[in-house]
Structure 1
């Protein structure tokens, strides 16, 4: 008798990645997206704008493909997702949903090309807010609502992956956020399922409160609802080419400031606050650092406007606070065209685009947690150079930070800056001036939206850029939203076998 062949470790390792759970999950999400397309169809039908046909057709195709994907993967339960499948699903969700979300933009009255429609839909779902569309004031209400819905869906999706997926994947120090969120389970979807209802409730509640505040400030119901969805998602799509300046209403500006900052804070803290523990909102070290940065940059911008005669008094304070809140939360709304305030403002706001909000929020950027860890790591290294026999443990929020977390954060920051530089150089080679190229690169990578200068600034849009530049920036939006490594790991050949 021959001895039974025992598989070696290497043979067991070479198992092909199963796509069935990924397909089933994508199918469910596509079906939800297809159903959501019927909402702007109803709005267009009620407004008699004639745009409902594009949404109905796109909805039918999206639901059909979604059902096929679900049927092909059903039986391979979502709870069976492993780390490789989580990587693949996290990246494919934004890509696949953006393709189908672009259909109404191509077939509707906006008549966007596939390139422009993909840019717009990716910008919506990643809550970037960069747009290629002009003439928004005359657009059908269905298209405006669809853009806001893409933001809103993308915002809750970002919170979900930030809390349930990225900490387990150890992306850029996000494993530290897993400790902060007080949920140490390694099971991806059970963790997500346990907190999904509470997160969704907090997200819906804050959106409703924001919409009510906009109504009280004087906006009509449609504008209040759509702009509230853009605000809580840190998106920035508005219903006018002039963003929020079209209202010329200080009350609207202050409402936007409050809820842009609200959206930039960790949503798990809101869940705890609703459960009777609001103390964390004020004692969390990341929140305190974030608010300190907002205060410092607001003071600098206010002083610069006052000294250079741009504005004074309450107007200068409001413009400064609004612009700082808009950029650091990566929302991208405009209360004034800050690109006309001089070189100092350009430098100030360029730095803000990198920073971003807090982990577990809808904001993009580097995040305050990573900034704090990076600063502490540099300080620790300087101390070790100066005092070679000393022991200097790195602590965050009173707790020690492991070396692997520090290495993960520093590696992410390096990769983030490298991606920004490569994108900016490539855009410059495509014909954009240096100011536009590098500001567009960080504006899309950090999911801010508007950049600097006349080509991509807040008073303009990305419609004048060549198609290769639009595709590059579309990729940058996805890379920035998914924390870069989540996407890049898919290009490793060893990823596709265990």
Structure 2
């Protein structure tokens, strides 16, 4: 029997959402400070107003006082599920009034895209966006890439109550260390170290290209952040092509790969147990999958205008890594994707984005762990069919230690896999219903649901509102990996349906 949200549940959910909104107001202080430093007075006024609105809303919700330490699984799912959309609405306020969006819904789209690290953008005239607005876009990437709840827990915003429930509600079930807060702090520390190192190196590259020091540092910080959290936003309209630098592309490829690796594996390597990475089922699945897809993609590009073999390898490798990490950086123009890529190259990139990176990483998609488990399940079924009736078939796999393949693990992997595929198909049908051709509609649907961000001709400023709303839903659902979203929908529906009154006793 489904449980309903009670008044107390709503107070708890509101209280925790208020905490997240206040934290988001603090995050907006970063672009506000950036505007002051660079004397961008109009953006400074926008962010000051947005901070005020967020603080009033957050404090109002915080007044829904609750007993400390009371947060169950259902409430945690609701807090996590609502947080991505609620914070995107607050993010849309300063973005829309920047004058770089055709409609308000486009600004909401970018807010959801930034927080879910999809990286698709409907911004107009990106090349002339203020430093403050750019800083805000990449701050959203950092917050969303690590996870709203992970970042909040690392700062101890929720106290001691409900940490484990909130952590798992964001799709993270594996702890780096036994303590949830220490786990989130480790994730934040690893992220800071990697981004800091990359920023220094890329700053040097940008200075060598002739950029002035401040701009070089900011561009390096932004693309380093976007690359590691597999976000996809870029400070310039041409994305990575703007820099015309192969060394920069190599650094970004390394960053994207690091971001797509589970933080649990990062922890094992940090502790000196690098062999855990090579034994892991995700690593083996990734190498096999990428080897096949790289071969297919290279063959499909052979008939494209990129007749130089080095250009094919350079662009092809970068696009494959950008797709499988679900980052969304591009080294080919959108026009080249839609007009020069063959249908085979199109669909290959879509397949790569659909699977995504590793579980427990910043990447989106179905995840290599689930694909590996499904493959193991197929092997198990074949073994059982060939084994004698009296034999007991046990299939094991390595994922931070040796594990036995159980029906529960297979069921979870298959459930999420099927939900992703169904959403990919429905999204494609929605695109086709809006007069799009089949292959671009499939590609765009996969890009949104997997939080991949490589878009073509459908996701454009001022697109039909119905299509845009569905894409926003896909980004949200894909980031929550469906389980949290479905549980939230069931709870809301159960709460909305009136209960039958008990019959009067005679």
**Bucket of the pairwise TM-score, normalised by the shorter protein:** 0.7 to 0.9
Q: Does 1:262 align with 2:258?
A: yes
Aligned residue number for residue 326 of structure 1: 322
Aligned residue number for residue 98 of structure 1: 88
Over 3 Å counting, the alpha-carbon distance change for 1:341 and 1:374 in structure 2 is same
Q: What are the Cα deviations for residues 238-266 of structure 1, in whole angstroms up to 9, with x where unaligned?
A: 11111110111111111110000010001
The one of 99, 123, 130 aligned to 1:140: 130
Over 3 Å counting, the alpha-carbon distance change for 1:425 and 1:308 in structure 2 is closer
Aligned residue number for residue 405 of structure 2: 401
Aligned residue number for residue 446 of structure 2: 442
The one of 120, 123, 146 aligned to 1:130: 120
Aligned residue number for residue 155 of structure 1: 145
Question: Which ranges in structure 1 are unaligned for 5 or more consecutive residues?
Answer: 1-9, 186-190
Aligned residue number for residue 36 of structure 1: 27
Q: What are the Cα deviations for residues 324-351 of structure 1, in whole angstroms up to 9, with x where unaligned?
A: 1100000000012462232221121121
Over 3 Å counting, the alpha-carbon distance change for 1:451 and 1:37 in structure 2 is same
Q: Which stretch shows the higher mean deviation, 118-127 or 347-356?
A: 347-356
Q: Does 1:482 align with 2:480?
A: yes
Deviation at 1:431, TM superposition (A): 2.6
The one of 69, 74, 86 aligned to 2:76: 86
Q: Root-mean-square deviation (CA), in Å?
A: 2.8
Q: What are the Cα deviations for residues 129-156 of structure 1, in whole angstroms up to 9, with x where unaligned?
A: 1111121111112111111111111011
The one of 67, 70, 76 aligned to 2:59: 67
Whether the 8 Å CA contact 1:43–1:141 is kept in 2: the answer is yes
Aligned residue number for residue 192 of structure 2: 204
Aligned residue number for residue 160 of structure 2: none
Deviation at 1:234, TM superposition (A): 0.7
What secondary structure sits across from 2:24 in the alignment?
Answer: helix
Q: What are the Cα deviations for residues 12-49 of structure 1, in whole angstroms up to 9, with x where unaligned?
A: 97783623332232222211211221221222233334
What secondary structure sits across from 2:146 in the alignment?
Answer: helix
Whether the 8 Å CA contact 1:159–1:267 is kept in 2: the answer is no
CA distance in 2, matches of 1:111, 1:244: 22
| Equivalent residue runs for 1:24-423 within 5 Å | 24-49=15-40, 50-73=42-65, 75-77=66-68, 79-157=69-147, 160=150, 168=168, 178=174, 181=175, 191-218=179-206, 220-306=216-302, 310-337=306-333, 339=337, 340-385=340-385, 389=389, 391-397=392-398, 398-423=402-427
CA distance in 2, matches of 1:273, 1:323: 27
What secondary structure sits across from 1:396 in the alignment?
Answer: strand
Whether the 8 Å CA contact 1:425–1:437 is kept in 2: the answer is yes
Over 3 Å counting, the alpha-carbon distance change for 1:401 and 1:335 in structure 2 is same
What secondary structure sits across from 2:80 in the alignment?
Answer: helix
CA distance in 2, matches of 1:344, 1:99: 38
Aligned residue number for residue 501 of structure 2: none
Deviation at 1:426, TM superposition (A): 1.9
What secondary structure sits across from 1:492 in the alignment?
Answer: helix
Whether the 8 Å CA contact 2:343–2:439 is kept in 1: the answer is no
Over 3 Å counting, the alpha-carbon distance change for 1:294 and 1:14 in structure 2 is closer
Whether the 8 Å CA contact 2:100–2:126 is kept in 1: the answer is no
CA distance in 2, matches of 1:202, 1:164: 21
User: What number of residue pairs does the alignment pair up?
Assistant: 467
Deviation at 1:436, TM superposition (A): 2.5
CA distance in 2, matches of 1:210, 1:442: 29
Whether the 8 Å CA contact 2:278–2:284 is kept in 1: the answer is yes
Q: What are the Cα deviations for residues 149-178 of structure 1, in whole angstroms up to 9, with x where unaligned?
A: 11111011168399965885697xx7xx53
TM-score (ref. length: structure 2): 0.85
Deviation at 1:218, TM superposition (A): 2.2
Q: What are the Cα deviations for residues 77-135 of structure 1, in whole angstroms up to 9, with x where unaligned?
A: 2x422110111111011111111111111222325532111101000000001111121
